[in-house]
Amino acid sequence: MITRTELENARKRARLLLKKTGISLSPKELELIEVADFGLGKLEETGAEILGLVNTEKVAVKLIVLFPNQTLPEHKHPGIENYPGKEEAIRCEWGALYVYGPGEPTLNPKGHPPEQRIHTYTMWHEYILYPGEQIIFPPNTLHWFQAGPDGAVCWSFSTKAVDLLDIFSDPEIQRRTVIADG
């Protein structure tokens, strides 16, 4: 749970990082930034600021802003009925992004999830993305990512997004953000 003040402050910070990218975004779009704390109430460590730009039956486009060292927790995009799940390309636009997925674990990875939640992270094959670099994850593939020390902005290009149905490795994660007065 986060307060309304925390929500607005996070949106302001996200807008500042988005401005650094030089991407043209309308004032109306910038008002729609979703702030996700994943139900842990520790937005600075675990969270994401997400601007959904397109989400049709076939394609979705988002900008994901991560504050310095902020982690988007380990998750996968499962299939639903006749839909095999979201295939997703993560493309770095600004900053450094540490991305983890299946493969041989990386010795001494740059990313470090929050210490009290590290037991819920199982993917340790590291990809370090800088602006213009990307990785694609097939549907139903566990992955997570973390911003570098200056923060990061990345694109998510994918098939249809049904984010509220994502499956997180951490059983305490709640995808829907709860806003408290204050």
In this structure, which amino acid lies at residue 134?
A: Q
Query: pLDDT tens for residues 21-52?
Result: 999 999 999 999 999 999 999 999 999 999 99
* Prediction pTM value: 0.96
**Cβ atoms 148, 96 nearer than 8 A:** yes
CB atoms within 10 A of CB 163: 18
Q: State the fold for domain 2-180.
A: Jelly Rolls (2.60.120)
Question: What is the pLDDT of the chain when averaged over all its residues?
Answer: 96
The two beta strands, 2-3 and 179-180, are parallel
**Cβ atoms 85, 79 nearer than 8 A:** yes
Instruction: State residue 33's pLDDT score.
Output: 97
Query: pLDDT tens for residues 123-177?
Result: 999 999 999 999 999 999 999 999 999 999 999 999 999 888 899 999 999 988 9
Instruction: State residue 103's pLDDT score.
Output: 98
